[in-house]
Chains A and B, each alone.
Chain A
């Protein structure tokens, strides 16, 4: 039997208020210009794998892959400093694939393997569309394992795969299209109810015993009848985060599950139903192991840490929907494959070096110590989780950025080591010498068809 052993979540810093895009209540989460589905998946996974976790397989589900052909999961493996001896599976094509990936990860766990399951999406709709205003950007990550280690174990599940023209997008199209919502709601409603009942029956679960019921899908109307059909009370229905995050594609069902786990106590029962091109349903029971579980940054904490003064035209520029005048600065050069491979642990995992003779930290890693001159007496040290403070900084109005001005700083690490980097997710006026910062994985730019990933620093959230 299998369950979820660890998890992590991530909601980006910016919000676009619906009032600014033409109406509606609340706000949606917006990934910064330097984020994508891969960088967000890294951020969500850091809590899930912190301290070291044995992983056999990595699964990554997204509808917004960084590359159409090049394994995004490999970038995750490198950024999380996981061994190269893992297998990889990439899923896409439907927003249900995040939950589908979790079910597959749980199947692997039942077969004695451990899986890291990441789901992440950067959701962009045509300007003025429902997808744009109701969508959101987020990521979630789970580690699956045997139920003896689990904080939540599987007690029921069922799935259905249904051919229906509900939402669709061709590979070269930027924006999704959608059939009339009433058709989907009426057609899929019965299948959702039937699949959910099968999931409950598979474990002999009485709906009255459910603590949290997560209903996620392309069409909220299609699930509207389910609570009544199962005899659920309003208290049992989990907040869909429509007003605070928006539906985050493949990540959303898992994000809502992570939030339920954030507040769960032993014995709680969580039902997750996800509708898109069919249905996946999963029932979990929280175990005693949830109490001493490692601290995780909770979904509500990510939601509360935000900046919601984003202008709509800035959002459109960030997403590449609105063309604009380029600056009089050279285009960046693409990074080169051999140097990236040589320096992979530095570039993607933020591993520097420390001199074993005098303990001076070096970022990037060096062969010759800057302090004592010792040659090849270094050991690897990963600085990604080391906190740092601003030694000095400046606002650079000349450097090119999609969010001027560039805040550039020299940051000093606890225990030694200094690095110069850009700050992100930051209000320039709030930066001061001595501020504490955390490292975050970002996509700096894309040049000649190559994404350039690296690390920046940001205030703690």
Chain B
């Protein structure tokens, strides 16, 4: 595979992010205006200076028109895209290639989702007209399959694994409590997490990320132009995206203890960024903790923990906010929330704050390289995005 990367050729020079939560009083337009305005201010620019836009939304609108009408953009390119839960990151990835190509000088990537308008519990997805045979497994059900598979393969007692999963939720809520923009800002005791009503398999309510509304945006330009807009830009070292062949749904070999798509996208990203030892070199990461066992498996798929050992690293606090390799320092999907189109950009927002020393109570000391990751779909049939960023 020829994946040459654009290391250090593109910079992020401004970002904006709304708070995530149940925004009954804000529609998608309101959220887009808010995130965009914050991003323009952050880059010190007027709206007119942006040459092109990439809009990510899963189901809250269609066409670039959704953004151009809300922001009254005067006759500029606006691409609307979707790649399940990696939608926001995809907006950024495509915007980055556009400025790297030289076709545009200053671009915006923006994502938005209004999940709370539907009135439904959990995520729902509309399918095109079909033959009625599609799987109706919910998202919690598909990801719940990871837990017993992991326990069995690596000889972890299921009760102990439940503690590991609860520890992940506990960590993310603890981090979110320090984040004024997060949906859930209270620490949650381990006992409450362990006792929560079952949603699917071993997963209780606290093992599942919530449903929320929000928007986030980034302004990007070529690295050599960054100084025009920002005293402290951050630089993209790697962008990787993999859509899998859904082999896990056909092949008896898939054992639900890994995401081959994540492994492939992480390896590609490390190759682009020149990272040889992710456990040592990646200072901090925002990963797709849609469900607690997902985060557990991701630690191994990303090479932060050796295969079969992530559970020990979790219990030892390796990935805590004040640990050696903080994961989801902003609270993650779990407590920040997961408005699908915005999440990837929200993750980049935390990397932006951390690398610039603006993360306040959550600040990590001297971060070098940061990583963001999104996963869309289900174990066995998914897409994966990974980015590496740094100063």
Interface residue from B127, B138, B247, B249 paired with A333 (Cβ < 8 Å): B127
Residue B198 interfacial (CB < 8 Å):
yes
A329-B121, A330-B124 known; A398-B199 Cβ under 8 A: yes
A336-B129, A418-B251 known; A394-B121 Cβ under 8 A: no
In chain B, what residue has the closest Cβ to A364?
B133
Interface residue from A336, A370, A418, A433 paired with B131 (Cβ < 8 Å): A336
Mark interface residues in B240-284 (1 if CB within 8 Å of A CB, else 0): 000001110111101010000000000000000000000000000
Residues of A near B135 (CB, < 8 A) are: 408, 420-421
A329-B121, A392-B149, A454-B132 known; A399-B252 Cβ under 8 A: no
Interface residue from A336, A366, A399, A410 paired with B138 (Cβ < 8 Å): A399
Residue B130 interfacial (CB < 8 Å):
yes
CA separation between A341 and B124, bound complex, in Å? 26
Residues of B near A335 (CB, < 8 A) are: 129-132
How far in angstroms is the closest Cβ of chain B from A84? 18
In chain B, what residue has the closest Cβ to A329?
B120
Query: Which range holds the interface residue count of chain A?
Result: 35 or more
In chain A, what residue has the closest Cβ to B152?
A433
Q: Which of A293-349 contact B (CB under 8 A)?
A: 327-330, 332-336, 338-340, 342-343, 346-347
A406-B141, A412-B252, A418-B252 known; A340-B131 Cβ under 8 A: yes
| Most chain A CB atoms below 10 A, which of B121, B135, B251 | B251
Docked-complex contact A391 and B252, CB < 8 angstroms: yes
Q: Which of A278-306 contact B (CB under 8 A)?
A: none
Docked-complex contact A399 and B250, CB < 8 angstroms: no
Docked-complex contact A343 and B250, CB < 8 angstroms: no
Residues of B near A398 (CB, < 8 A) are: 121-122, 138, 140-141, 199-200
Mark interface residues in A417-461 (1 if CB within 8 Å of B CB, else 0): 110111000000000010000000000100000001110000000
Docked-complex contact B201 and A329, CB < 8 angstroms: no
Residue B367 interfacial (CB < 8 Å):
no
Docked-complex contact A418 and B250, CB < 8 angstroms: yes
CA separation between A280 and B253, bound complex, in Å? 57
Residues of B near A329 (CB, < 8 A) are: 120-122, 124
CA separation between A336 and B130, bound complex, in Å? 5
CA separation between A406 and B148, bound complex, in Å? 18
Residues of A near B199 (CB, < 8 A) are: 397-398
Docked-complex contact A342 and B131, CB < 8 angstroms: yes
Residues of B near A453 (CB, < 8 A) are: 132
Residue B366 interfacial (CB < 8 Å):
no
Tally the A-B contacts, defined by beta carbons under 8 Å. 116
Docked-complex contact B200 and A397, CB < 8 angstroms: yes
Docked-complex contact B140 and A396, CB < 8 angstroms: yes
How far in angstroms is the closest Cβ of chain A from B303? 25
Mark interface residues in A364-408 (1 if CB within 8 Å of B CB, else 0): 101000110000000000000000000111111111000000101
A394-B145, A397-B199, A398-B200 known; A340-B252 Cβ under 8 A: no
B contact residues, total (Cβ < 8 Å): 39
Interface residue from B120, B144, B197, B245 paired with A394 (Cβ < 8 Å): B144
Docked-complex contact A370 and B251, CB < 8 angstroms: yes
Docked-complex contact A418 and B249, CB < 8 angstroms: yes
CA separation between A338 and B142, bound complex, in Å? 29
Q: Which of B205-250 contact A (CB under 8 A)?
A: 245-247, 249-250
CA separation between A300 and B310, bound complex, in Å? 53
Docked-complex contact A340 and B200, CB < 8 angstroms: no
| Most chain A CB atoms below 10 A, which of B124, B136, B247 | B136
In chain A, what residue has the closest Cβ to B119?
A328
How far in angstroms is the closest Cβ of chain B from A402? 13
CA separation between A370 and B246, bound complex, in Å? 8
Residue B137 interfacial (CB < 8 Å):
yes
Residues of B near A330 (CB, < 8 A) are: 118, 120, 124
CA separation between A418 and B381, bound complex, in Å? 13
In chain A, what residue has the closest Cβ to B378?
A420
Residues of A near B138 (CB, < 8 A) are: 396, 398-399
How far in angstroms is the closest Cβ of chain B from A453? 8
CA separation between A330 and B59, bound complex, in Å? 15
CA separation between A327 and B380, bound complex, in Å? 28
A327-B121, A394-B201, A418-B251 known; A452-B132 Cβ under 8 A: yes
Residue A114 interfacial (CB < 8 Å):
no
In chain B, what residue has the closest Cβ to A346?
B133
Docked-complex contact A397 and B198, CB < 8 angstroms: yes
A396-B141, A410-B145, A416-B252 known; A370-B136 Cβ under 8 A: no
Residue A269 interfacial (CB < 8 Å):
no
Docked-complex contact B141 and A399, CB < 8 angstroms: yes
Mark interface residues in A176-198 (1 if CB within 8 Å of B CB, else 0): 00000000000000000000000
Docked-complex contact B129 and A339, CB < 8 angstroms: yes
Interface residue from A394, A416, A452 paired with B141 (Cβ < 8 Å): A394
Docked-complex contact B201 and A444, CB < 8 angstroms: no
* 13 A/B residue pairs, CB under 8 Å, sorted by A: A327-B121, A329-B124, A335-B131, A339-B131, A340-B132, A343-B133, A362-B250, A370-B250, A397-B198, A398-B200, A410-B145, A412-B252, A418-B250
B-contacting residues of A (Cβ < 8 Å)?
327-330, 332-336, 338-340, 342-343, 346-347, 360, 362-364, 366, 370-371, 391-399, 406, 408, 410, 412, 416-418, 420-422, 433, 444, 452-454
For the complex of A and B, the 5 pairs showing the least CB-CB separation, nearest first, are: A335-B132, A336-B129, A396-B141, A394-B201, A452-B132
